[in-house]
Structure 1
Amino acid sequence: MNKIYLLAKTFLKNRRKEKYKRNNKISSWLSKLLLFGFLIFLGIPLIGFISETYDFLASINQQGLLVNIAFSIATVVIFVFGISFVLTTFYFTKDIDILLPLPLKPYEIVSAKFITVLIYEYLTELLVLGPLLVVYGYKGSLGLGYWTISIVIFLILPIIPLVLASVLNMIIMRFTNLGKHKDTLKTIAAVFSLIIGIGVNILYRSNKVSKEKMIEMLTSGDNSLVGIVSTIFPTTNWATYSLIGKSISEIALNLILFVLASALSIAIFIFAAQKLYFKGVIGGSESFAKRKKLDKRQIEKSTKQSSKFKVYTLKEMKILFRTPVFLISCVISNLIYPILLAIGIFTNIDSYFSMATIRGFFANKEFVGIVIAMSFAIAFFIGGSNRVASTAISREGQNMYINKYIPMSYKEQIFSKLFSAIIIDMINILLIILILIFMVKIPLVMAVFILIASLLANTISSSIGIIIDINNPNLSWDNEQKAVKQNRNTFASGIISLVMSGLITFFTIRFKPDLTIASISIGAISLFIITSLFYYISTKGQKAYSKI
């Protein structure tokens, strides 16, 4: 147990980012300030929504449904994201080659890595469960027992989904030869996680209860709806009834069952690690590569001369698509927006609005200006929340020194990175526009206006992201996940885009501009901001880049 503790402590220390010589304290405090502001910005409306939902459900004695839904969502999210996170942490970090020769048992190494993953998953769980547990306890005027059990459940809840993700990965790595195809395997794992998440979304939308049965459950009260949403991980029912049980015996029984199920899962995890881990991880540092003999014509074709800007932009795109973590985090993850839009339109749109009403809204000339302005706001948020621009410099890592020697100015390098980020963002926007054209039947003229507004918004948000990364790059990482998923710059860029898109939405709703006002305002302001940002990149940004 002492070895596991020491190993976990070492892994956690290694995950801390190294501070840069300049402005390290300012950067740290700025990040904390931004995090606090972000939590306040999202937390207040979220807590208000949870509070109102609680009041409504409490009026029909169904408030326990809130807890059940939150536990189910948290469990599924942890499992889905845990698949790729566990795979990378267990098998594809650089410390594997150092750990294997040491006198350590398989379960000790894996248990320590599991603890590090678990601690980081607590942050995810805190965002999902934290506000709800606080509101539920406060609104219900619950006592010390509730808060004690809440803490216990909070600490135990991620164990079962993470164990399931870990054992699944260990079985795959033990009985296949995929370790040498690590890049392909990482991509498959992440795509599989995304497919599971989308599948759960579709399953949840399609698994509807009849109106008569729903009315019967609502009117019967007594938290009768609890259990409907926890079909994927049934153990969440035990966690739910540990909090909302009607008697002490019911609470104690469900809590004991939940703790025992988690303990059993840990035992299964240790057994699987001892039997499977070493045989799956040995040889994982090797890689598979195809060797192809090129003739003279193929060599000439592959080495033809082209513009520096084009070559460097294509280099950025190739790295994004060939590196699994970059592909998933920067490209595929952003496709969730058009996918969810298509699913929402296809499965559930008639439950809220008729398609004819929506098409009428887009066809109404009075609302064209509002649509254009809102498209600008949405594109601004999507561009700022994407990681391509805000990690453009950080992704270079220890190879950043190479950029000092290539025959290309720093200004050209920066704008090539910026251009590649805009291309990735616009792919996402184009998919959304195509969905609106073919599924909602919006006019083509409106689609063109949306495209132009989105391009301007993406240019601004991507420029802001790359400026942030130039001034505070994270080049010290030993696996690609740290470059993109544990990067403060992505968080800062997301905060700025969220605030800006919120302000644009507020002014749009407040003033309801027509097409002329919206077009002139967005065009003039955007061109001014873009010119200013490009000037900064060409001057101070280039100087900051040269000092990296």
Structure 2
Amino acid sequence: LKAYVKKEFKTLFRTPQFFLNCIVQTFVMPIMLFFVLFVQDGNLKWITGYIDNPKSAGLAIGVGLCASLFLMGSNVIATTSFSRDGSSWFVNRYLPVKASDIFFAKAITAWLINVIILAVFGITMAVVAGISPVFMLLWFLLSANGLLLINLIGTRWDAQTADIHWDTEQKLFKSRYTTLWNFLANIFIALVIVAGVSLLYFFLQVGLWVMFIVLFVMFTIVNYIFIKILKLGAERILSNIE
């Protein structure tokens, strides 16, 4: 599994089109959208005000989770996991590697890129905006857990709709609608989380730690079930790619 993850990283960083469309876009777009949507009058004081207030910190971490899933959910790395291989995909069928290892190596690669972005962004916000390091750590753990589910869904979606018959890398990215459908699915998931956060905060009036624990446990359970399902069906899922 580790060797296959390394192979995926090498392919992403060594192929110019993959590097631009996957790595650079995944890094730049969430940060740009964050500043466009959340920065007011050139600063983040309104955000730090919510976070520093114990009464609204629970809501803040719930909204922070929704924001990270919305901004980073449409991960092109996940939604082109199998399509990127092109005609060389068929080589995988002759390698002594389990189908589940191939699937999860691709999902983990996309997820690790997201985790790196989360870490860089979290450290930057703690240092530059003066946001509590404890809050940013909780946000990081919660968002990483949520994005694992998003990347598993994106990878599964590409396995279902993989287009491995392309001539150039440009055609691969121009003719793909999987990323759009995955983005719409992410919006739906974010709306479900918004409903859950609203229930916990406005009706049950939970604080930061209870909100974190409930959301973290919820995502952990969903991820565990989804991973079990994917492991059992990996052979069948990958056999449909042709």
Instruction: Say yes or no: TM over 0.5.
Output: yes
Alignment partner for residue 328 of structure 1, among 20, 45, 69?
A: 20
Alignment partner for residue 544 of structure 1, among 224, 229, 237?
A: 237
3-state SS of paired residue (2:76):
coil
Q: Equivalents in 2 of 1:472, 1:380: separation in Å? A: 22
1:344-392, CA deviations, whole angstroms, 9 ceiling, x for partnerless residues? Answer: 88xx74x27773x543322122222212212221222234311111110
Q: Equivalents in 1 of 2:36, 2:118: separation in Å? A: 16
Is 1:534 the counterpart of 2:223? The answer is: no
2:124 corresponding residue in structure 1: 435
Q: 1:106-145 residue pairs with structure 2 within 5 A? A: none
1:404 corresponding residue in structure 2: 93
Is 1:488 the counterpart of 2:181? The answer is: no
1:384-437, CA deviations, whole angstroms, 9 ceiling, x for partnerless residues? Answer: 311111110111111111111222111111111111111111122222212311
Query: CA offset at residue 540 of structure 1?
Result: 1.7
Q: Equivalents in 2 of 1:316, 1:358: separation in Å? A: 37
1:75-101, CA deviations, whole angstroms, 9 ceiling, x for partnerless residues? Answer: xxxxxxxxxxxxxxxxxxxxxxxxxxx
Q: Equivalents in 1 of 2:44, 2:74: separation in Å? A: 31
Q: Equivalents in 2 of 1:538, 1:370: separation in Å? A: 35
Alignment partner for residue 462 of structure 1, among 135, 151, 162?
A: 151
Is 1:502 the counterpart of 2:191? The answer is: yes
1:319 corresponding residue in structure 2: 11
1:282-337, CA deviations, whole angstroms, 9 ceiling, x for partnerless residues? Answer: xxxxxxxxxxxxxxxxxxxxxxxxxxx22110110111111222112211112222
Return closer, same or farther for 1:354/1:328 CA change in 2, 3 Å cut-off. Answer: closer
1:234 corresponding residue in structure 2: none
TM, length-normalised to structure 1: 0.41
Alignment partner for residue 389 of structure 1, among 48, 71, 78?
A: 78
1:140 corresponding residue in structure 2: none
Instruction: Structure 2: state its 5+ residue gaps.
Output: none
1:514 corresponding residue in structure 2: 207
2:105 corresponding residue in structure 1: 416
Is 1:473 the counterpart of 2:166? The answer is: no
Q: Equivalents in 2 of 1:374, 1:450: separation in Å? A: 10
TM, length-normalised to structure 2: 0.88
Q: In structure 2, what residue type is equivalent to 1:515?
A: L
Q: Equivalents in 2 of 1:377, 1:492: separation in Å? A: 18
Query: CA offset at residue 531 of structure 1?
Result: 1.2
Return closer, same or farther for 1:483/1:354 CA change in 2, 3 Å cut-off. Answer: closer
Alignment partner for residue 360 of structure 1, among 49, 52, 69?
A: 49
Contact 1:430 1:451 in 2 (8 A): yes
3-state SS of paired residue (1:477):
coil
3-state SS of paired residue (2:162):
coil
Q: Equivalents in 2 of 1:384, 1:343: separation in Å? A: 17
1:447 corresponding residue in structure 2: 136
3-state SS of paired residue (1:475):
coil
1:428-463, CA deviations, whole angstroms, 9 ceiling, x for partnerless residues? Answer: 222221231122111111011011011111100000
Q: 1:77-92 residue pairs with structure 2 within 5 A? A: none
Q: 1:189-268 residue pairs with structure 2 within 5 A? A: none
Contact 2:33 2:71 in 1 (8 A): no
1:526-546, CA deviations, whole angstroms, 9 ceiling, x for partnerless residues? Answer: 112101211121112331203
Q: Equivalents in 1 of 2:21, 2:191: separation in Å? A: 24
Q: Equivalents in 2 of 1:537, 1:526: separation in Å? A: 16
1:447-506, CA deviations, whole angstroms, 9 ceiling, x for partnerless residues? Answer: 110110111111000001111111221111111123234222212211100121133234
Q: Equivalents in 1 of 2:44, 2:15: separation in Å? A: 43
Q: Equivalents in 1 of 2:67, 2:33: separation in Å? A: 14
Contact 1:326 1:484 in 2 (8 A): no
Contact 1:338 1:435 in 2 (8 A): no
Q: Equivalents in 2 of 1:383, 1:407: separation in Å? A: 33
3-state SS of paired residue (1:526):
helix
| Aligned-residue identity in percent | 22
Q: Equivalents in 1 of 2:88, 2:67: separation in Å? A: 35
3-state SS of paired residue (2:79):
coil
Q: Equivalents in 1 of 2:42, 2:84: separation in Å? A: 43
Contact 1:338 1:431 in 2 (8 A): no
Q: Equivalents in 2 of 1:465, 1:485: separation in Å? A: 17
Return closer, same or farther for 1:523/1:442 CA change in 2, 3 Å cut-off. Answer: same
Q: In structure 2, what residue type is equivalent to 1:370?
A: L
Q: Equivalents in 2 of 1:429, 1:505: separation in Å? A: 20
Return closer, same or farther for 1:479/1:441 CA change in 2, 3 Å cut-off. Answer: same
